[in-house]
């Protein structure tokens, strides 16, 4: 009888400990809102540090993937993505015997990878430390165990990230523009910067067999002959801009162009001074749309991380694919030709980004993003996009992600920085790539 009572007492104590363990973790109350806030912090720092669109996509993908791999070990409905992407990485196993908050560990891994890849480390360290203080005060044991595991995963990712050829591309030659071929890209006003990331196609992709796997249709053959397809597309850019001038600030086309600008390299000159106007990248805009969709769908922490991770992988591969074509076709921008042959006083609505024209990065990235988000949230997902409100622009409403992608692509014509072929063929390139990502990752509806 006494032995039976002792056994029952032991079971009760163990049960109480288990309940206490779960209560302690739940008391931390880490939610999807915390993940949104953490990723917003990384975005803010990237805007401050003026990362190029391709480099920003690399940061998003690794930071989110590190968090996801921790979540996937805890959630049986999610599978490790390292099994389906180009990933030679061994994720440390989550020790279920220890008192670990997997959400906390995921955030720690995400922030550590973000800190490793950005410039302003102090900014993200201060943000992280403020979280650490709160978590440690709530339960030191859970915090220390979660921190240890999160850092183990981050360290594994750092070793893998180190082999993606990024460091090697930092020492490769700049893009040469010394050519007599009038069809080749030339630096554009006002800063006349060298072409950025000319070797980005050498970065290790996530789902692509090669950077050229989704090579788009060729652009119309270069010709300044009146009546040629290329010349007609050039004149369309010129005439659309002139028509917008007649309409003035009330032009819908002008609103669309500005809303989707997303150029982190915009420079403003006042007198003898020139300074940068910091903006979000195209990938950052679609990360913002992912946040909007996730919150509207009321996704929990796990599904939020899943959504961000799949879209980040798609955006990263989209930039690799697009940049491969840009520096292969090496096509001149409309602004250069119009100023030289048609009207030396003409200026585009948007500042021309510092890299070759074909295909349109916005079109490729938007096409890819829309396909993935459509798979995640549905075909007729209506939303208000307030991503650009922080930059003084009003929100815009869309009936679907594909609707938004089409507008984003066409915004480059209204902005005066792309020919129609780069827009339409780029969008098709992105759609094909997006479908590939959906199939490769087996992206699930949420």
Tens digit of pLDDT for each residue in 296-334? Answer: 999 999 999 999 999 999 999 999 999 999 999 999 999
Class of domain 30-167: mainly alpha
Range with the lowest mean pLDDT among 131-145, 202-216, 240-254, 271-285?
271-285
Backbone torsions φ then ψ of 270, nearest 5 degrees: -130, 110
pLDDT value at 29 more than 80:
yes
Q: For residue range 105-126, what is the model confidence (pLDDT) as tens digits?
A: 999 999 999 999 999 999 999 9
Number of residues assigned to the chain = 446
- As a whole number of angstroms, the distance between CA 362 and CA 405 comes to 8
Distances (CA, A) of 160 to 91, 113, 129, 154, 164: 10, 11, 25, 10, 7
Residue partners of 96: CB distance under 8 A and separation at least 6: none
The residue among 229, 241, 279 whose CA lies nearest residue 259 is 279
Range with the lowest mean pLDDT among 79-83, 275-279, 400-404?
275-279
Q: Whole-number mean pLDDT of the chain?
A: 92
Range with the lowest mean pLDDT among 165-179, 316-330, 353-367?
165-179
* Structure confidence at residue 18 as a pLDDT band (50, 70, 90): very low
- As a whole number of angstroms, the distance between CA 387 and CA 21 comes to 39
Please report, rounded to a whole number, the percentage of residues in the chain having pLDDT higher than 70.
91
pLDDT reported for residue 94: 86
The residue among 30, 35, 148 whose CA lies nearest residue 92 is 148
pLDDT reported for residue 139: 95
pLDDT reported for residue 270: 52
pLDDT reported for residue 95: 87
* Structure confidence at residue 271 as a pLDDT band (50, 70, 90): low
Residue ranges of domains in the chain: 30-167, 184-441
* Structure confidence at residue 13 as a pLDDT band (50, 70, 90): very low
- As a whole number of angstroms, the distance between CA 114 and CA 244 comes to 41
pLDDT reported for residue 15: 44
pLDDT value at 354 more than 70:
yes
pLDDT reported for residue 312: 98
Class of domain 184-441: mainly alpha
Angle, helices 102-117/53-74, rounded to nearest 10 degrees? 160
- As a whole number of angstroms, the distance between CA 439 and CA 421 comes to 27
Q: Is 18 exposed, middle or buried (0-12, 13-18, 19+ CB in 10 A)?
A: exposed
pLDDT reported for residue 246: 81
Q: What is the dihedral of CA 3, 8, 14, 18, to 10 degrees?
A: 170
pLDDT reported for residue 8: 44
Report whether 345 contacts 399 (CB < 8 A): no
pLDDT value at 7 more than 60:
no
The residue among 362, 381, 184 whose CA lies nearest residue 286 is 362
Range with the lowest mean pLDDT among 18-32, 210-224, 431-445?
18-32
| pTM exceeds 0.85 | yes
- As a whole number of angstroms, the distance between CA 404 and CA 185 comes to 29
pLDDT value at 17 more than 50:
no
pLDDT reported for residue 19: 44
Which residues on neighbouring strands pair with residue 398, listed in sequence order?
Answer: 383
Token pair 């893009």 is found at: 175
Is 17 or 34 the better-scoring residue by pLDDT?
Answer: 34
* Structure confidence at residue 265 as a pLDDT band (50, 70, 90): confident
**Mean predicted confidence (pLDDT) in 398-402:** 98
- As a whole number of angstroms, the distance between CA 255 and CA 261 comes to 10
Angle, helices 401-414/420-441, rounded to nearest 10 degrees? 150
pLDDT reported for residue 302: 98
* Structure confidence at residue 26 as a pLDDT band (50, 70, 90): low
pLDDT reported for residue 11: 42
pLDDT value at 10 more than 50:
no
């Amino acid at each position: 009888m006494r032995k039976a009572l002792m056994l029952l007492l032991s079971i009760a104590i163990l049960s109480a400990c288990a309940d206490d363990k779960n209560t302690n973790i739940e008391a931390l109350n880490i939610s999807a809102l915390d993940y949104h806030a953490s990723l917003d912090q990384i975005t803010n720092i990237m805007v401050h540090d003026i990362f190029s669109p391709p480099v920003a996509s690399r940061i998003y993908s690794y930071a989110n993937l590190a968090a996801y791999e921790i979540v996937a070990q805890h959630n049986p409905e999610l599978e490790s993505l390292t099994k389906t992407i180009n990933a030679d990485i061994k994720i440390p196993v989550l020790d279920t015997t220890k008192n670990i908050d997997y959400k906390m560990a995921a955030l720690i891994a995400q922030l550590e990878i973000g800190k490793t890849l950005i410039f302003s480390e102090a900014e993200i360290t201060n943000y992280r430390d403020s979280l650490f203080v709160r978590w440690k005060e709530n339960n030191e044991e859970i915090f220390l165990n979660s921190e240890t595991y999160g850092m183990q995963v981050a360290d594994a990712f750092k070793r893998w990230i180190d082999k993606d050829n990024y460091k090697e591309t930092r020492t490769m030659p700049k893009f040469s523009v010394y050519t007599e071929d009038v069809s080749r890209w030339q630096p554009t006003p006002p800063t006349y910067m060298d072409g950025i990331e000319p070797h980005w196609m050498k970065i290790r992709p996530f789902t692509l067999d090669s950077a050229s796997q989704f090579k788009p249709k060729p652009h119309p053959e270069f010709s300044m002959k009146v009546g040629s397809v290329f010349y007609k597309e050039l004149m369309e850019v010129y005439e659309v801009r002139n028509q917008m001038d007649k309409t003035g600030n009330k032009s819908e086309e002008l609103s669309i162009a500005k809303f989707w600008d997303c150029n982190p390299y915009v420079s403003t000159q006042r007198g003898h001074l020139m300074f940068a106007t910091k903006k979000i990248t195209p990938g950052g805009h679609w990360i913002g749309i992912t946040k909007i969709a996730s919150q509207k769908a009321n996704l929990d922490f796990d599904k939020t991380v899943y959504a961000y991770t799949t879209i980040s992988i798609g955006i990263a591969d989209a930039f690799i694919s697009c940049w491969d074509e840009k520096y292969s076709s090496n096509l001149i921008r409309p602004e250069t030709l119009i100023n030289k042959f048609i009207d030396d006083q003409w200026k585009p609505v948007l500042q021309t980004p510092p890299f070759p024209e074909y295909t349109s990065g916005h079109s490729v990235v938007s096409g890819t993003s829309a396909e993935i988000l459509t798979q995640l949230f549905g075909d007729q997902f209506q939303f208000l996009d307030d991503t650009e409100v922080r930059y003084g622009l009003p929100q815009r409403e869309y009936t679907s992600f594909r609707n938004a992608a089409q507008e984003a692509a066409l915004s480059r014509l209204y902005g005066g920085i792309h020919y129609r072929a780069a827009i339409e063929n780029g969008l098709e390139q992105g759609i094909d790539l997006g479908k590939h990502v959906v199939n490769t990752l087996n992206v699930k509806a949420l």
